[in-house]
Protein backbone atom coordinates (compact mmCIF):
# COMPACT_ATOMS: atom_id res chain seq x y z
CA UNK A 1 0.00 0.00 0.00
CA UNK A 2 1.11 3.52 -0.62
CA UNK A 3 1.97 5.89 2.18
CA UNK A 4 -1.01 8.12 1.31
CA UNK A 5 -3.44 5.26 1.95
CA UNK A 6 -1.71 4.33 5.21
CA UNK A 7 -1.78 7.97 6.28
CA UNK A 8 -5.51 8.18 5.45
CA UNK A 9 -6.22 5.00 7.44
CA UNK A 10 -4.29 6.39 10.42
CA UNK A 11 -6.28 9.64 10.25
CA UNK A 12 -9.53 7.66 10.16
CA UNK A 13 -8.42 5.67 13.21
CA UNK A 14 -7.64 8.87 15.12
CA UNK A 15 -10.97 10.42 14.12
CA UNK A 16 -12.81 7.26 15.21
CA UNK A 17 -11.00 7.29 18.54
CA UNK A 18 -11.98 10.92 19.17
CA UNK A 19 -15.59 10.26 18.18
CA UNK A 20 -15.76 7.30 20.57
CA UNK A 21 -14.51 9.53 23.39
CA UNK A 22 -16.59 12.66 22.76
CA UNK A 23 -19.96 11.50 21.42
CA UNK A 24 -20.89 9.23 24.37
CA UNK A 25 -20.19 12.06 26.81
CA UNK A 26 -22.47 14.37 24.83
CA UNK A 27 -25.14 11.67 24.73
CA UNK A 28 -24.94 11.22 28.49
CA UNK A 29 -25.10 14.96 29.22
CA UNK A 30 -27.89 15.88 26.79
CA UNK A 31 -29.75 12.61 27.38
CA UNK A 32 -29.78 13.16 31.13
CA UNK A 33 -31.21 16.67 30.81
CA UNK A 34 -33.70 15.66 28.12
CA UNK A 35 -35.00 12.65 30.02
CA UNK A 36 -35.14 14.60 33.26
CA UNK A 37 -37.25 17.30 31.62
CA UNK A 38 -39.49 14.63 30.06
CA UNK A 39 -40.01 12.99 33.44
CA UNK A 40 -40.83 16.35 35.03
CA UNK A 41 -43.34 17.14 32.29
CA UNK A 42 -45.00 13.72 32.10
CA UNK A 43 -45.47 13.48 35.88
CA UNK A 44 -47.64 16.60 35.98
CA UNK A 45 -51.13 16.07 37.29
CA UNK A 46 -52.86 16.82 33.96
CA UNK A 47 -50.72 14.33 32.03
CA UNK A 48 -50.82 11.52 34.59
CA UNK A 49 -54.33 10.58 33.52
CA UNK A 50 -53.45 10.32 29.83
CA UNK A 51 -52.41 6.76 28.92
CA UNK A 52 -50.07 7.94 26.15
CA UNK A 53 -48.14 10.12 28.56
CA UNK A 54 -47.66 7.07 30.78
CA UNK A 55 -46.00 5.29 27.85
CA UNK A 56 -43.77 8.29 27.20
CA UNK A 57 -42.92 8.53 30.90
CA UNK A 58 -41.95 4.85 30.88
CA UNK A 59 -39.92 5.49 27.74
CA UNK A 60 -38.02 8.33 29.43
CA UNK A 61 -37.28 6.17 32.47
CA UNK A 62 -36.14 3.40 30.14
CA UNK A 63 -33.88 5.85 28.31
CA UNK A 64 -32.27 6.67 31.65
CA UNK A 65 -31.54 2.97 32.01
CA UNK A 66 -30.02 2.90 28.55
CA UNK A 67 -27.80 5.87 29.40
CA UNK A 68 -26.56 4.70 32.75
CA UNK A 69 -26.68 0.90 32.49
CA UNK A 70 -25.56 0.50 28.88
CA UNK A 71 -23.76 3.60 27.65
CA UNK A 72 -21.57 4.41 30.66
CA UNK A 73 -20.16 0.87 31.06
CA UNK A 74 -19.58 0.71 27.30
CA UNK A 75 -17.80 4.07 27.44
CA UNK A 76 -15.64 2.97 30.38
CA UNK A 77 -14.75 -0.25 28.59
CA UNK A 78 -13.85 1.58 25.39
CA UNK A 79 -11.90 4.45 26.93
CA UNK A 80 -10.14 3.00 29.97
CA UNK A 81 -10.52 -0.74 29.35
CA UNK A 82 -12.62 -1.12 32.52
CA UNK A 83 -14.97 -4.00 31.84
CA UNK A 84 -16.08 -6.02 34.86
CA UNK A 85 -18.02 -8.47 32.71
CA UNK A 86 -14.80 -9.98 31.35
CA UNK A 87 -13.90 -11.39 34.77
CA UNK A 88 -17.33 -12.47 36.01
CA UNK A 89 -19.52 -14.92 34.05
CA UNK A 90 -22.74 -13.99 35.85
CA UNK A 91 -22.14 -10.30 35.23
CA UNK A 92 -21.43 -11.05 31.57
CA UNK A 93 -24.80 -12.77 31.16
CA UNK A 94 -26.64 -10.08 33.10
CA UNK A 95 -24.94 -7.42 31.02
CA UNK A 96 -26.30 -8.92 27.82
CA UNK A 97 -29.84 -8.99 29.21
CA UNK A 98 -29.52 -5.47 30.62
CA UNK A 99 -28.24 -4.19 27.28
CA UNK A 100 -30.77 -5.70 24.92
CA UNK A 101 -33.95 -5.38 26.96
CA UNK A 102 -33.88 -1.55 27.27
CA UNK A 103 -33.01 -1.20 23.58
CA UNK A 104 -36.03 -3.33 22.65
CA UNK A 105 -38.26 -1.33 24.97
CA UNK A 106 -37.07 1.94 23.42
CA UNK A 107 -38.63 0.77 20.17
CA UNK A 108 -41.81 -0.64 21.68
CA UNK A 109 -42.98 2.27 23.85
CA UNK A 110 -43.84 4.58 20.89
CA UNK A 111 -45.53 1.63 19.19
CA UNK A 112 -47.65 0.99 22.29
CA UNK A 113 -48.51 4.69 22.55
CA UNK A 114 -49.57 4.72 18.89
CA UNK A 115 -51.72 1.62 19.34
CA UNK A 116 -53.28 3.19 22.42
CA UNK A 117 -54.11 6.34 20.47
CA UNK A 118 -55.55 4.29 17.62
CA UNK A 119 -57.83 2.27 19.89
Tell me which residue range forms the domain holding 36. 3-118
Distance CA 39, CA 91 (A): 29
Kindly tell me if the per-residue pLDDT of 108 is higher than 90.
yes
Q: Quote the number of domains for the chain.
A: 1
Kindly tell me if the per-residue pLDDT of 35 is higher than 90.
yes
pTM above 0.95, yes or no: no
- pLDDT value at residue 97: 86
Taken in order 97, 100, 106, 111, the sign of the CA dihedral is negative
| Per-residue pLDDT tens digits for 84-98 | 778 888 888 888 888
Give mean pLDDT, residues 38-43. Answer: 95
Give mean pLDDT, residues 35-55. Answer: 93
57-80 burial string, b = 16+ CB within 10 Å, else e?
bbbbbbbbbbbeebbebebeeeee
Give mean pLDDT, residues 3-12. Answer: 92
Amino acid sequence: MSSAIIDFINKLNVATMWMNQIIPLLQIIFGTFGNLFNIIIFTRRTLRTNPCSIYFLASSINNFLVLYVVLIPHYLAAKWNLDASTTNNVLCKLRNICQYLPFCLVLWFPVLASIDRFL
